[in-house]
């Protein structure tokens, strides 16, 4: 077994709120092997953003880590001092955000931004520009030298996002975290980005943690999938296993809700009845039980643990 690039063990994070402690992540375990693309699926409020923030240690001031560890190549990121963490961020671990318009600086040319972020390297200005040009080329941007002189607002949405990806890959990170990078694009540009990411992953050999609530994108891009619900991992496994043989009732319902899967046109789209549990007041037992059709008595008493194996689910009734 190789050492995972990222090994999240039993991570729990809460936020201090007026109503009390909001337990945003509870006992989360995720492993990312080198060179793999892992997708995280889950609805709003499932803890995706908190998870990213915890990995790169940019949690909000009212957050606290209740326990667990985030091992990046065997180093616990949670124990690093801020200086070391800063050195790692944007170098070994880099990020692509949802909206490239707000993650790029609007008053600086692309070229200036792409040379600025090479401050760690001992390169001449010309070398930095050459590096920037070659990266833009690799993300499939035509006429890269010319684009370096332009400002973000000159570029289309798809180009901006590829510039953001080029910038994230500049330092050849071991881990690239992409937070809903295709949400603002149309389907043709979305697949373009997906294919580009797959290509770049092969070239650079980095692991990718890809967050999305678009199930189709995850199915197409990722090797493995982690399904999160209300701050817990409820199912994880290879993309084929999870999408074709979903074990957790939540995953199954989520897949049923996808309008792309419904062949017949209908005016009555399936929904998941009920609502998310209140994370300030978490009861004993399974977090999904109030919305689950197959819950049994045990579900109210005991929180199901993620069972072992390659395709695991946290459910008392999930069959093998």
| Residue 218 C-beta: closest distance to another protein, Å | 8
Q: Is 107 in the site for another protein (CB under 8 A)?
A: no
Q: Are 49 and 72 in contact (CB under 8 A)?
A: no
Within residues 288-317, the interface with another protein by CB under 8 A covers: none
Binding mask 18-57 toward another protein (x if CB under 8 A, else -) reads: -------------------------xxx------------
Candidate list 27, 48, 247, 253; residue touching another protein; CB under 8 A = 253
Decide if residue 1 touches another protein (CB under 8 A).
no
Residue 29 — φ and ψ, nearest 5°? -120, 120
CB of 98 to another protein, least distance (A): 10
Q: Give 248-254's long-range contacts (Cβ < 8 A, gap of 24+).
A: 248/288, 248/313, 248/314, 248/315, 248/318, 249/288, 249/292, 249/293, 249/294, 249/315, 249/317, 249/318, 250/288, 250/291, 250/292, 251/227, 251/313, 253/291, 254/41, 254/43, 254/215, 254/227
Check residue 156 for interaction with another protein (CB under 8 A). yes
Query: Which residue reads 């080329």 in tokens?
Result: 137
Q: Closer to another protein at the Cβ: 240 or 298?
A: 240
Among 60, 108, 145, 269, binds another protein (CB under 8 A): 269
**What are the phi and psi torsion angles at 223 (to 5°)?**
-85, -40
Q: Is 258 in the site for another protein (CB under 8 A)?
A: yes
Contacts of 176 (CB under 8 A, 6+ apart): 93, 94, 95, 96, 168, 169, 201, 206, 207, 208, 209
d(Cα 196, Cα 210) in Å, to the nearest integer?
14
Q: Shortest gap between Cβ of 9 and another protein (angstroms)?
A: 28
- In the complex, least distance from residue 280 CB atom to another protein, rounded to whole angstroms: 13
The smaller minimum CB distance to another protein, of residues 1 and 271, is found at 271
| Cβ distance to another protein smaller for residue 95 or 254 | 254
Residue linked to tokens 């936020």: 15
190 near another protein, judged by CB under 8 A: yes
Closest CB to another protein among residues 7, 190: 190
137 binds another protein (CB under 8 A): no
How many of the chain's residues bind another protein (CB under 8 A)?
A: 49
Q: How far is the CB of 257 from another protein (least distance, A)?
A: 4
Q: Which is nearer to another protein, 76 or 143 (CB)?
A: 143
Residue 243 C-beta: closest distance to another protein, Å:
5
User: Residue 179: in which H helix or E strand, if any?
Assistant: strand 175-179
Q: How far is the CB of 252 from another protein (least distance, A)?
A: 12
Q: Is 260 in the site for another protein (CB under 8 A)?
A: yes
- Which of 27, 243, 295, 299 contacts another protein by CB under 8 A? 243
* Cβ proximity of 313 and 294 under 8 Å: no
Annotate 250-291 with DSSP letters as a single string: HHHHHHHH-GGG--S--SS-----S-PPPTTSPPSS-TTGGG
The Cα–Cα gap between 69 and 75 comes to 9
Binding another protein (rule: CB under 8 A), the pick from 107, 266, 293, 308 is 266
**Under rule CB under 8 A, residue 185 binds another protein:** yes
CA within 13 Å, CB half, 132: 27
Q: Are 45 and 275 in contact (CB under 8 A)?
A: no
Q: Give the footprint of another protein on this chain (CB under 8 A).
A: 43-45, 141-142, 154, 156-159, 183-192, 194, 213-217, 219-220, 239-240, 243-244, 253-255, 257-262, 265-272
């Amino acid at each position: 077994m190789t050492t995972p690039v990222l090994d999240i063990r039993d991570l729990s994070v809460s936020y201090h709120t007026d109503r009390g402690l909001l337990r945003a992540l509870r006992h989360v375990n995720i492993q990312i092997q080198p060179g793999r693309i892992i997708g995280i699926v889950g609805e709003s409020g499932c803890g995706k953003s908190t998870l990213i923030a915890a990995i790169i240690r940019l949690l909000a001031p009212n957050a606290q880590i209740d326990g667990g560890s985030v091992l990046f190549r065997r180093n616990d990121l949670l124990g690093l001092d801020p200086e070391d963490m800063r050195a790692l961020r944007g170098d070994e671990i880099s990020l692509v955000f949802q909206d490239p318009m707000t993650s790029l600086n609007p008053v600086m040319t692309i070229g200036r931004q792409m040379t600025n972020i090479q401050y760690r390297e001992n390169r001449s200005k010309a070398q930095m520009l050459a590096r920037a040009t070659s990266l833009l080329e690799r993300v499939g941007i035509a006429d890269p030298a010319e684009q370096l002189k332009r400002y973000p607002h000159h570029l289309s949405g798809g180009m901006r996002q590829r510039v953001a990806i080029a910038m994230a890959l500049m330092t050849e990170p071991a881990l690239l975290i992409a937070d809903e990078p295709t949400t603002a694009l149309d389907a043709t540009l979305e697949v373009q980005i997906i294919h580009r990411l797959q290509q770049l992953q092969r070239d650079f050999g980095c692991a990718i943690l890809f967050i999305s609530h678009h199930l189709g994108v995850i199915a197409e891009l990722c090797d493995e999938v982690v399904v999160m619900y209300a701050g817990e991992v409820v199912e994880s496994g290879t993309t084929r296993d999870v999408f074709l043989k979903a074990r957790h009732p939540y995953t199954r319902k989520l897949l049923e809700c996808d309008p792309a899967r419904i062949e017949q046109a209908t005016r009555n789209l399936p929904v998941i009845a009920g609502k998310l549990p209140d994370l300030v007041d978490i009861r004993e037992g399974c977090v999904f039980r109030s919305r689950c059709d197959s819950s049994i008595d045990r579900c109210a008493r005991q929180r199901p643990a993620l069972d072992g194996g390659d395709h695991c689910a946290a459910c008392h009734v999930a069959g093998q």
